[in-house]
Amino acid sequence: MPTLYVVATPIGNLGDMTPRAVETLRQVSLIAAEDTRVTHKLLAAFDIHTPLTSCHEHNERAKAAQIVTRMLAENIDVALTTDAGTPCISDPGSILTAEAIQNGIAVIAIPGPTAVAAALSVSGMPITDYTFYGFLPRQKGELTAKLLRMARESRLAVAYESPHRIMDLLTCVQAVLPQTQISASCDLTKKFELTLRGAVGDVLAAMRENPKAEKGEYCVIFQWNEVPPEPEAPCALSLEAQLFDALVSGKTLREAMEARIAAGERKNAVKAAALRVKALLKQGAP
């Protein structure tokens, strides 16, 4: 029966390539690589000449079926790699491994470098448990909601962030959860490896003073020191009815609107409801 090997590769320093990974990549019949150009350079560094095929986020669903079909038909072993680190960890590979498992193919890990473990190990934080969130939302509103949810459901959280968005991420954390402790690592295992640790405001200030802060991929550890309150449960009443209730209780329409927006209602929806309430009040005036 063929075997699919999930092979971890260096995240920066070629010295972290394990002998077992080298031997596996030499012995398999095919390597399914996230980017064949990147993996070709890695293979050249270790004098490995195994054929490559691409398997990335845009073609993995179709490619997984093709690779598994070939493995079964030709009884060949295949290695799965990503550009850096361990496949399937916020990288392609999960669809291929699932397809292999469903078809009775053995799936074996060839462990090695991973940014998550490396960043956690140098964070200086107590690591008895943590939750990995991968890449976070780009839009500010979605990011804020995600951070609040992360703080409610995890004690220690880990996320990836691009060098171009790291400032936006930490600025958002400082705005909504200012007591958060941060460990932000970039260029792990490389010559200019950097880890910044401390209160989110201090880490953000250090990054702003560092002209090279936006040059490396980040793995960020969040230690929450505050738990935000649970969001209000959705109200069964329409927005118009909620605004009327607030008016009856003595609030102004503006105060009622601000309260609904603060409770999580969309600003445009609240404004539209307020206009309808004004129209109804005007109709009812003597």
Whether 232 is in a domain gets the answer no
> Which residue pairs from 238-244 have beta carbons closer than 8 angstroms and sit at least 24 positions apart in sequence?
238/273, 239/265, 239/269, 239/270, 239/273, 240/273, 240/276, 240/277, 240/280, 243/270, 243/273, 243/274, 243/277, 244/277
Question: What's the whole-model pTM score?
Answer: 0.78
25 and 80 both lie in a single domain: yes
Q: Which CATH number characterizes residue 59's domain?
A: 3.40.1010.10
Q: Does residue 4 contact residue 77 with C-beta atoms inside 8 Å?
A: yes
**For 57-109, what is each residue's pLDDT tens digit?**
999 999 999 999 999 999 999 999 999 999 999 899 999 999 999 999 999 99
CATH of the domain at 185: 3.30.950.10
Is 60 exceeded by the pLDDT of residue 118?
yes
* Domain encompassing residue 99: 3-113
The answer on 8 and 100 residing in a single domain is yes
The CA distances from residue 51 to 39, 46, 177, 219, in Å, are 11, 14, 49, 32
What are the backbone dihedrals phi and psi of residue 48, each rounded to the nearest 5 degrees, phi first? -110, 135
